[in-house]
Amino acid sequence: MSESGGLPIPGETSLIAAAVLASQGKLQIALVIPLAAAAAIVGDNIGYEIGRKGGRWLLERPGAFARQRQEVLRVGEPFFEVHGPKAVFFGRFLLGLRVWASWLAGATRMRWRAFFLWNALGGISWATGIGLLAYFLGHSAGGAVEAFGIYGLIAFLLAVLGGLVLHRRHASHGHRSTADRATATTTRHPQDNDESPDA
C-alpha cells in the first residue's frame, strides 16, 4: 500500500514472499491475493488524492531527490495526459510507474471515476497474476530442490537463462542480416535503372 501511495517500498516483493509462503502452507493464497489487491487499490487512491491536492508542488519543490522528482514530472506528465487509463492499468506491473502513476493521475487531474476503474482492474489483475505465479512457482521450486538439490536447481536456472540470452542474440543477428540485405538491394536498384536505357 505504501508503494502505491508513492513511497518506493517493494510491494511486489512482499506479494511474492507471501505467495511463496502460501505455497508452503504457512499462509492461505485465497487471503493473500485479495489483501494484496485491496492494499494496492487503497494505496493508489491515497496517492491519487495526494497528487491531486499537492502532487505538483511535492514533485517540483527543492530538496532530496529533486532532480529525480522533476524528471518524473517532465517525462511522465505528457505521457500520462495522452495514455492515462493505460498508464494506470499497466503501471501496476511496472516498478517505476507503479510508484508514481497514482500521483501523476492526481496531478494531471484525471477523472477519479476513470482512475478508480482502471486502477481497480490493474490492482486485481496484478495481485492475481503475480500471486498465482509465485504460488505455483513456489510449489515447483520446492519439488525441484527436493529432487535435485539446491545446486542442481541453480544449474538448471542458469542453463535456462543462458538459453534465453543465446536465443535473443540469434534473433537480433538475424534481424540485422535481413536489414543489411534489404539495404544492399535498395542500393543496387539505382544502378539497375541507369543501365536499363543502354540495354
Range of the domain at 30: 11-147
Contact 116, 99 (CB under 8 A): no
Domain assignment present for residue 50? The answer is yes
Q: Look at the chain and report how many structural domains it folds into.
A: 1
Domain assignment present for residue 152? The answer is no
Domain assignment present for residue 197? The answer is no
pTM: 0.61
pLDDT in tens, 11-25: 788 888 899 899 989
Domain assignment present for residue 162? The answer is no
Best CA proximity match to 101, nearest among 194, 198, 11: 11
The CA distance from 139 to 150, in Å, is 14
pLDDT in tens, 67-111: 887 887 788 778 777 888 988 998 888 876 777 788 888 888 888
Domain assignment present for residue 195? The answer is no
The CA distance from 41 to 117, in Å, is 10
Residue 5's pLDDT band, with cuts at 50, 70 and 90, is very low
Contact 15, 133 (CB under 8 A): no
| Grid coordinates of 128 | 492475481
Domain assignment present for residue 132? The answer is yes
Domain assignment present for residue 59? The answer is yes
Q: Considering the chain, what is the average pLDDT of its residues?
A: 76
Domain assignment present for residue 114? The answer is yes
| Grid coordinates of 148 | 535435485
Q: What is the DSSP string of 30-42?
A: HHHHHHHHHHHHH
